[in-house]
Structure 1
Amino acid sequence: EYPNPPTVRHLVHHTSGVRDYIGLMRLAGNRDEDFFTDPEVLAVINRQRELNFQPGAEYLYSNAGYFLLGQIVAAVSGQTLREFAEAHFFAPLGMTHTHFHDDHNEIVTRRATGYSPTDDGFRINVTTLDMVGDGGVFTTVEDWVAWDRNLESGTVGGAEWVALMHQRGVLNSGDTIPYAFGISHGEHRGLATVGHGGAWVGYRAGMTRYPETGYAFVALCNGSHIDPMGLIAATAEVYLGDRMEPLEEPDESGEGATPDAGGNQAEDEPPGEDIAGRDRYAGSFYSPELDATYHIRGVGTAGLSMRVGKWDPLTLAEVEDGVLRIGGLVLRFSDLAEGRFSSVMLDAGRVKNLRFTRVQSGDQGGR
């Protein structure tokens, strides 16, 4: 339990502060190809003792929010999310080829396989997971048309439901955010838009509605290298360009650039992999919220690597004294005692302020 628990509304608008479960499962040492279950996801969410921020303070997309909303629907209705959506939305709208895919082993006729590019071509990239709510919808372009029309007609849900779907979230500060009920408000060259994009394994998808014009566009893609929202925007400009504001001319003056003393554009120095005083960092650090242990070891004469769970060893770089980084994962060390750091705070995008403490080898739980 959190000291200040988020509400259902917070989950809907991604203002809950609940840490993203996909990030948590990865940080616990799982790889993208590993299998885990709904109970395991609920367990890692339930182990969290902190939020990314106080509910309502900020907006930060979290897959945990809509996964939990699916769990709430199941608990209240006595049906799985798949059964509930079929009975109350998809069947009444005639969406006969749409479902929440909660069994990755289920055969679906005419299914498009997902692909990701490699150095010499492509590889199949499909999920082994069964989580739904935050994703997992299988559909067709024809079925999507029925869903899109319902966002205008309210055939299912009525006018009140349509209005609710478009209702934006409001932060504690009183500021309104673009995100509503699973769709987000925006604008494209002066035209108001409502839509959403998604990405998972070898699939990319997006939809954008232009309510003032009566046009809507969708892109369902089976390649992780494809930009559906970019395709939609380009297509919309073909059909709606005469109703849009003129394209902004690119600034070719060079104004606003910040040259360095030598007249070249300033660049950030890359973090160094040769780490002075690396023994301060080396050791094992345990997180009870992940139930996982991070093992940091010396490599070569001055480097550090980190290992957790099923990950291959990762080479760490020092951003500044007491701060190590690998990609978007930042480790902030503190509490120096007897020449060694005893605490770590981890930030990794949709997971923030995850705490670790130094443990002796063999004393920690987890992996």
Structure 2
Amino acid sequence: MKYRANPNVDRIFSRWNKPNSPGFALAVSKAGKIVYSRGYGMADLDHKIPITPGTVFHACSLAKQFTAMCIMLLEGKGKLSLGDKVGDYVPELGELGSHITIADMLHHISGIRDQWVLVTMAGWRMSDDVVTLGDVLYFVNRMKTLNFHPRSGYSYSNTNYTLAGLIVERVSHKYLSDFARKHIFAPLGMKSTTITNTHGQIMENRAYGYRAAGKAFEIRMPNYDLTGATNLLTTVEDLVRWNHNFDSHVVGGKKALATMQEPVAKSNNYGLGLMRGDYKGLGLVEHDGRDAGYRSHLIRFPEQQLAIALLGNVLLVDVETADIVREVADVYLPRKRAAARQASAKTSAAVSAETSAVAPEYAAPKGFVGRYYSEEIDTVYEVALDRSSLRIERKKNLPSPLIPIAADTFGLDDFSNVLTSATVKFSRDAHGKIDGFRIDDARPAPENQLLNFRFTRL
């Protein structure tokens, strides 16, 4: 269907709507009917194939809400319960699994460490090295501690949903992809949607992922051979069909769909694969996705029956999809109020200014030099001295400078494309000698994805 051009929407995407740029597909719906859809930029720069509303994108973490729905469908059939212990289905978690429920994982209050953090800390290079389900289970099996005691905090962890997808497979005796196709995609008419079990699986009309490389672009594709947390391939028009299900209740039923949208204590407004929030006084439900070379966002305003689906094949550096979909929403929302974005930006700047400190001097840097081992990732890091500065050296990665913050405490910037900033706190034995360190995500709660991750000096 062709729609009359909407200049107010199109200008938002003008920077990408070029024959030499990747870009986005957009669909806007009201009361379940698409009122505007369009592609901006190119799906394939090699062959000059433009993006259309029918272009298939890797949808990143939008996969999580479909995994959550699969769990809800199994609960509806009496095959499992959200209150079941994860260890009953995933013995690889060992004793830790006896304290965590399926609901804890889906709400990200399990304390389970994030798989992307673990594999990159162990030396994997995201988008270059393949990450398999076996790799994730290897680290799950080695996990000795959690980020926090279950239900006492929130930490967004992709491992939660990889394990949830595994539970679906072990209970249904079907691949997650097959279960979702039969019970979700087919009933809703999502003909261009699938979950891929391997990164090399062929999908018609797929957009390649890109990132900026100077003034040009280079291909950047996710190499994931696992499901549950990611590997959903879909179109914006199919996402709108899925979104309308929250009003039509075709799949799952009213009760299950309501449960998916309800946060619990400590879950940071996170339901099951969905987050609640507000914008300019209007309630919303949303989720975004970020993987190598791709971005995604699905947002809806239930009371206004407005939904916006956004899929992109470009790694964003100076804007978030949350900002883009809200700009689009401004065009269609029936009322407008003063935006709080500038105030929020000023507050963030003030907080940043308050928390920044002059790096202190630290004595005897040679005392930190040595080799440190983590049993959880079976990996050795070397703390080395480069002239008078310390740095961490590890396989497959460039050295990471340690930036002094306080006594025995250092900052670690650009540690990986997942754990972008961290703090390293060294510990000492009874004689005052360094005997290890721990790494914590430096981002403020609840954004931190790694807490109390320990290395022992060899």
Residue in structure 1 matched with residue 401 of structure 2 by the alignment: 315
CA apart distance, 1:198? 0.9
Alignment of 1:207 with 2:304, yes or no, is no
What corresponds to 1:123 in structure 2?
Answer: 218
Question: Quick check: 114-123 or 18-27, which moved more?
Answer: 114-123
Question: Which residue type is aligned with residue 315 of structure 1?
Answer: P
Query: Identity over the aligned pairs, expressed in percent?
Result: 32
Of 356, 364, 367, 1:280 maps to 367
C-alpha offsets along residues 267-318 of structure 1, whole Å, 9 cap, x if unaligned?
834536x753111110000010110011111112x11221122112222222
- Contact 1:2 1:49 survives alignment (8 Å): no
- Contact 1:317/1:325, CA 8 A, preserved across alignment: yes
Matched, 1:59 2:147: no
Which residue of the partner structure matches residue 180 of structure 2?
85
CA drift of 1:255 comes to: 11
Q: Is 1:247 aligned to residue 339 of structure 2?
A: yes
The code of the aligned residue for 1:44 comes to: F
Deviates more, 1:312-321 or 1:189-198: 312-321
The equivalent residue for 2:208 is 113
Q: Distance in 1 between matches of 2:373 and 2:439?
A: 12
Say if 1:133 and 1:298 are closer, same or farther in 2 by CA, change over 3 A.
same
TM-score, normalised via structure 1 length: 0.88
Larger helix share, 1 or 2: 2
Match of 1:15 among 90, 109, 112: 109
Quote the Cα distance in structure 2 between the aligned partners of 1:255 and 1:62: 27
- Give the letter for the 2:256 counterpart: W
Aligned mates of 2:146, 2:247 — CA distance in 1 = 36
Contact 1:219 1:229 (8 Å CA) reproduced: no
Distance in 2 (CA, whole Å) between partners of 1:99 and 1:351 is 31
Bigger mean CA deviation after superposition, 281-290 or 98-107: 98-107
Other-structure match for 1:299: 386
Deviation at 1:248, TM superposition (A): 5.1
Q: Is the 8 A contact 2:224 2:231 kept in 1?
A: no
The alpha carbon displacement at 1:13 in A equals 0.5
Q: Determine if contact 1:220/1:228 at 8 Å carries over to the other structure.
A: no
- The one-letter code sitting in structure 2 at the alignment partner of 1:292 is T
Distance 1:305 1:248 in 2: 40
Q: Summarize the Cα distance change of 1:178–1:62 in structure 2 as closer, same or farther, 3 Å threshold.
A: same
Once residues 349 and 251 of structure 2 are traced to their aligned partners in structure 1, the CA distance between those partners, rounded to angstroms, is 52
Q: Is the 8 A contact 1:191 1:244 kept in 2?
A: no
Contact 2:239–2:298 (Cα < 8 Å) also in 1: no
Could you say if the C-alpha distance between residues 167 and 269 of structure 1 is closer, same or farther in structure 2, counting changes exceeding 3 Å? closer
Larger RCO (CA under 8 A, 6+ residues apart): 2
Q: 2:258 corresponds to which residue? A: 163
2:210–2:314: 8 Å Cα contact kept in structure 1?
yes
1:25 aligned onto 2:119? yes
Residues of 2 paired with 1:286 and 1:338: CA distance?
A: 21
Secondary structure of 2:229's match? coil
Gaps of 5+ in 2: 1-93, 414-420, 442-447
- Give 3-state SS (helix, strand or coil) of 1:333's partner: strand
Instruction: Specify the alignment match of 1:324 in structure 2.
Output: 410
1:38 aligns with 2:133: yes
Residue pair 1:165, 1:180 contacting (<8 A) in 2 also: yes
Q: Which residue of 2 aligns with 1:261?
A: none
Counterpart of 2:192 in structure 1 is 97
Q: Would the aligned equivalents of 2:177 and 2:196 in 1 still touch at CA under 8 Å?
A: yes
Partner amino acid for 1:271?
A
Q: CA deviation at 1:133?
A: 0.9
Q: Matched residues in 1 for 2:426 and 2:434: separation?
A: 6
Partner secondary structure for residue 225 of structure 2 = coil
In 2, are the aligned partners of 1:152 and 1:162 still within 8 Å (CA)? Answer: no
Contact 2:240-2:308 at 8 Å conserved across structures = no
CA RMSD across the alignment? 2.3
CA distance in 2, matches of 1:149, 1:338: 64
- Distance in 1, matches of 2:261 and 2:342, equals 33
Aligned equivalents of 1:255, 1:177: Cα separation in 2: 20
Indicate which of 230, 233, 238 corresponds to 1:138: 233
CA distance in 1, matches of 2:348, 2:377: 44
Alignment-derived partner of residue 359 in structure 2: 271
2:432 is the alignment partner of 1:342? no
Cα distance change of structure 1 residues 222 and 160 upon mapping to structure 2, 3 Å threshold:
same
TM-score, structure 2 normalization: 0.71
Name the CA distance, whole Å, in 2 between partners of 1:235 and 1:194.
15
Aligned length: 344
Q: Which residue type is aligned with residue 423 of structure 2?
A: V
The CA distance in 1 between the partners of 2:354 and 2:108, in whole Å, is 36
Residues 212 and 267 of structure 1: CA distance in aligned 2, closer, same or farther (over 3 Å):
closer
The Cα of 1:256 is off from its aligned counterpart by 12
